[in-house]
Amino acid sequence: PCTVQGSHENATDDCELGAWCWTYDETPICVELCHGPGDVLRCDDEAQFDCHLYLQATIGFCLPNCNVLTQDCPGDDLCLPADDTFLCVPPSDMPGQLFAPCAGGVTTSCAQGLWCMPAASALECDQDASDCCEPFCNLNDPDSVCPGAGQICASIYGSIFVQPAPAPYAHIGICTRPL
């Protein structure tokens, strides 16, 4: 556990050298800072943690990686896409449910298993809202059915991210209408 005094770039915490105070699973805890030469930042245990860049990529800290389809993060934490991996992050105060309006660009504005997508991705969304919460899906699972009328399971790589899908995540999709 840890405490923080100040805010943003001027904050200080009581974590040991090489760690940073992060609110994780509702309790502020010390997490390892990423380290490495130049712009190649890593975590000590890369099998369980990935480096998450923060403050315009000026600092990086290690967060648990996760499975976005099973949402295997502890407590109410969300498993969300982050660059070329998936990380556990604390949810917002009032995460939106399926088809609820959400704040585009705020990755934690939807509940577990959901991502903020353009409202046009589902007929059930309020079309006057700019964005709404849609579920992740598995491109390799024929039983992975999207809940919205006329929705398909489309790769998040191409709809959320422009880069090609990293091999371990090529099956990750998001429910959307063909746009």
Task: Write the DSSP assignment of the chain as a string of letters.
Answer: ---EES-GGG-EE-PPTTEEEEEETTEEEEEEBPB-STT--B-S-TTTEEEEEETTTTEEEEEEB--TTTT--STT-EEEEETTEEEEE---SS-B-TT-B--TT-TTSB-TTEEEEEGGG-TTS-TTSSEEEEEEEETT-TT---SSTT-EEEEHHHHTBSSPPPGGGTTEEEEE---
Q: Does residue 48 have a pLDDT over 90?
A: no
Among 37-51, 91-105, 107-121, 165-179, the range of highest mean pLDDT: 107-121
**pLDDT reading at 172 higher than 60:** yes
Q: Which residue has the higher pLDDT, 116 or 74?
A: 116
Note the pLDDT of residue 105.
Answer: 66
pLDDT at 57 over 80: no
Q: What is the pLDDT of residue 81?
A: 82
Q: Amino acid identity, residue 31?
A: V
pLDDT bin (cut points 50, 70, 90) of residue 28 is confident
Residue-averaged pLDDT of the chain: 84
Confidence at residue 31, expressed as pLDDT on a 0 to 100 scale: 87
